[in-house]
Amino acid sequence: MSTEPIIHQCECKTCKIGLDTEIIKSHQRINLFLSRLNEPQRRWYVATLAEETDAPSDRQLALITGLDEKTIRRGKVEMQDQLVAAPVGRQRQEGAGRWRAEKKTRR
């Protein structure tokens, strides 16, 4: 297990143009943090960002974080459901496999 976490490079317009260092730094921080989270944690964090006032659109967040818009929306639904599908104590270690029972109550 010597895998270096891969840090996503933001693909938003602002970072591509490269002038607004505050935004660039902020997006780099987000991606650095995300690189240390497991998959469900990543989508919950991005969903949390998406619910902030003045948050970027899901599409924009997808460019920033590399997550699918679909994944972000799923994270939002899970957060709105109080993470009932992921109770405390049921968190699996990275590499230990996927969530066992995902409830398909909403679609």
Largest CA distance in the chain: 45
Q: Which of residues 46-105 bind Zn ion (CB under 5 A)?
A: 64
Query: Which residue, 27 or 76, has its beta carbon nearer to Zn ion?
Result: 27
User: What distance in Å separates the CA atoms of residue 21 and residue 95, rounded to the nearest whole number?
Assistant: 35
Cβ contact 44:72 at 8 Å: no
Does the footprint of Zn ion cover residue 15 (CB under 5 A)? yes
Which range binds Zn ion by CB under 5 A, 24-32, 77-85, 88-96, 97-105?
Answer: 24-32
Task: Supply the minimum distance, in Å, between the C-beta of residue 1 and Zn ion.
Answer: 30
Task: Supply the minimum distance, in Å, between the C-beta of residue 20 and Zn ion.
Answer: 9
User: What distance in Å separates the CA atoms of residue 67 and residue 50, rounded to the nearest whole number?
Assistant: 12
Does the footprint of Zn ion cover residue 27 (CB under 5 A)? yes
The C-alpha angle with vertex 52 and arms to 43 and 62, in degrees rounded to 5, equals 40
Task: Supply the minimum distance, in Å, between the C-beta of residue 64 and Zn ion.
Answer: 5
User: What distance in Å separates the CA atoms of residue 95 and residue 107, rounded to the nearest whole number?
Assistant: 27
**Contacts with Zn ion, residue ranges (CB under 5 A):** 10, 12, 15, 27, 64
